[in-house]
Structures are given as C-alpha cells and as structure tokens.
Amino acid sequence: MLITVHIRAFARFRESFGDRFDVEVESPATVRSVMLEVGKRNGQGVRDLIDDGGNVKKSVIIMVNRERVTGEARDEHPVHGGDEVALYPPVAGG
C-alpha cells in the first residue's frame, strides 16, 4: 500500500528538491525509504543525500513531525502516512 508523506526541505536541499512537496512510498515506510524517494527528484542532488551504500548521509539532519531523529537506527525510523519529514544541512544561524 502506498502512503503519502509531506516533505519540507531547507537550504541546499530546498534548492535541489523543492521546499514543500509530497512523496508516495510503500508502507511500512522508513526515513531511508522516504529519503530514497526524495532523492529521485534530482539526479545530482541525491549525492548530497544518500551515500554509495544507500544510507542517508550523516550530514543530513532529519526531523519527523518536528522532532529530530538521531542515532544509529535513524534510517530505519518508521514514517507513517500524513507524517511531515523535514531535511536540512547543519545549521549556521546566529
């Protein structure tokens, strides 16, 4: 079954993939499956997002429903239909 996930992308990821859009992924979905789908939108930009092993790069910060997802199991973190997944590079404010 396909589910719809709402994406927010910022800074260089916004430039590569767009700022707000939806993706459809197979359920059960994970941070990895959602990011692989996002990556399909830009053949160049995907290199900033996914490494050669198919893992989400550590330099990509991920939020699911406005909460940071961190740790070794991050790529397997579950994503549900209607969730908002945000991706952004390391911050540089102040």
Partner 1 sequence: MIRVTRDEFDASALLEEARSGEEGAVVSFLGIVRNDGIDRMEVEAFEEVAEQELSRIREEAIAKFGVTRVDIIHRVGSLSVGDRIVLIVVGASHRKAAFLGCEYIIDRIKESVPIWKKEYTAGGSRWVPGEHE
Binding site for partner 1 (CB under 8 A): 8, 10-12, 14, 59, 61, 63, 66, 86, 88-94
Beta strands in the chain (DSSP E): 2-9, 20-26, 29-30, 61-64, 67-68, 78-79, 84-88
Closest contact distance (angstroms) between CB of 34 and partner 1 is: 17
Instruction: State which residue, 43 or 66, has the beta carbon closest to partner 1.
Output: 66
Closest contact distance (angstroms) between CB of 45 and partner 1 is: 13
Q: For residue 91, what are its two tokens?
A: 């911050």
Instruction: State which residue, 8 or 77, has the beta carbon closest to partner 1.
Output: 8
Asked whether 59 and 35 are in contact (CB, 8 A), the reply is no
